[in-house]
Structure 1
């Protein structure tokens, strides 16, 4: 414990902050373990006690809170524990249900979170997401999520979602069919006072002066097609807009709103598109191909896997959308009259070139392999709708150096903010392979970043890993 924070060194503050994270996670674990111990003390049937009040007269009874395979607990016994926890008994029931699921249905996840590898709220949510699965189906969720506990919360939950769907695709098909009957478009009326609301919310989104709001629930394929139509029309509007001299051009959010509004008048859309002079754009298109707003296109990058028998599994991961049943992927593709299948990208292969710029195919392979920013504990995902990452050479490019310096083995994809921090603040990074990096911070924190997430390592471990770092050699040249 640091007695006076104002006298602490940067290293002391960083290590103290890291220790508080460990302590806070342990407190949350302790709270669940206390709940479990209390439940174990009250797992016997209260109706077997002498002079027990019958259930029909309001007496205590055993109830099941967790999923299939979890024990029962006496219902009225939880009231006193709720008082001790300073909360309503329903909150205590919810926490115990999660704890039961973790201990009895997700034992590998429970073991990992007890080691401090993940925030407790994340695995509690995984427990709730998977509660409808039976004790056999949930095994694949437990295995996959336990292996991913070092990743960011959003990635853990995405993996859990995929495995819940994979474990019971029939139930998920039922969810899809139910949602098909709950589609709609809503145009909410502004609430009184909202036109003069000057609250400090982000972008003043609560103020409705001069603007309206639209909400829609559509078939996913329709929503995706609508998005691409709006994007293409917005790009055309922005390209042909007249910007007053000295004025900043409007952002794409504005032009997407204009395109969305324009769709209310199809004749105006056709008139605008027909008024575009294609011949004057031939040279520009030749230099930088762009989508034609009159022929919207969509690119789908689909990750598939094979079962033990060599057949396609029931699930695929679509870049930018997440896990989808193969039938959903078929529906998405079915909306296009012309489908062009690109060659399969084998992420087990690598390539290097004799130049400074990373070629497009190397960038694509790196982004598909890493999924997101490889800075320690980063959460940004690389999707077609986000800003492309900076592909930084892990080992700085040397124009007088050996051939083959640019490739999968020497590529650290980073968001711009993290790239700036690495460049200007003295971070060190070494690459151990196409999807493994070790980082050192300016004040002595060390991290191993892999496809499985970020793991703290000691200085000694960092030095051991450093010997495994990839050395650029002439035989890596293309």
Structure 2
């Protein structure tokens, strides 16, 4: 698209290219008046909304066509709320592949579309007309999903009145209020369930190697954790305060909570001695509430622990770090940390500086160990995992851990007693799959063939084919897929 104030685009030879048109028969953007330009912007918004509506209608139609099981072993699932039809579970991955995305995102889109059509028809009418943002309507569908079909009409009527002319925040507030009004008992039960949904989770690492620690704890525990972080920040301030602001000091202090022995030593070193009697020398009526009877015994047991026992108090964690020999020798470059991503080699000390490190031998991918048994030996698992780098299902995010996948035979294992060849288990015939992906491959009619180290070709029940390799997932033409899938055993085809 050409802009009035932008320099004229040029091709490789330096010639000025003609201005890009928004569409066939549409006036050049640079020739539009201010009013016409604003009208074009408004028209573009409506066009985008209608395109998203068309997308929803397509996935809903797919769900309708896949609404009946093919046999008794064909499981059904219900992505939407009460009153929406069920869909064949094995049909959702194929739809996701056609959309070039992971199945969870497609399942969410199908559920939202079914909710809008069957549970929120008044809201859906406004959205289909291009009068409202589809993403807002989808959010309303999620908020109201737990409301029974008999009561969800209250939410639909209220939202349909405001979705076309109010800000998204107003629409969502209205929807949230009507969800409570429609089913107050379910809301009360949800609040009770929320009390038990405590957690401590880690965010994904950012491009600089930092992560967020997200915790949901009681208010009292949160206050005491905050107080300890403040105390540690005060202690660290003299040594680090010259080049760290308060938030950075608190971040450093939070890391000390993972090292209880070091933390205890630092607190003791920076706690002034008092002339008052020790807690064990006080009478029962004089002992403070923070000094229970077992405190003295606990301190004595700490003194008797060996250095290794003290180190074990911080717990154990397993992290896999991959680094090339060249980078390791020159002490610079990049390392890949499973579950976190790439980081500078110099930054590994921040990750491993307080840990006991166990070195694993380098895996030579030229050596392809094979086994006759169905189970994958650990050396084979290590080889396959480093060769593939994660789940090999099409468009699957590479966030799986080694312990969270099944090592599946790409071509079905045939027991030697039944005539199967020797050496079927090995890097030449194995791919990591999450359990749900493994089940879809085994029972859903999906075909997989390994076509080289770390390369897997997938074919859906309706014949769509995809190649998963180090470059990600891409669609194959029918001719490319035919060449790979019909190649003799042991022959790997690499289409241009």
TM-score, with normalisation over the residues of structure 2? 0.41
TM-score, with normalisation over the residues of structure 1? 0.42
The higher relative CO (CA closer than 8 Å, separation ≥ 6) is in 1
Give the structure with higher Rg (CA). Answer: 2
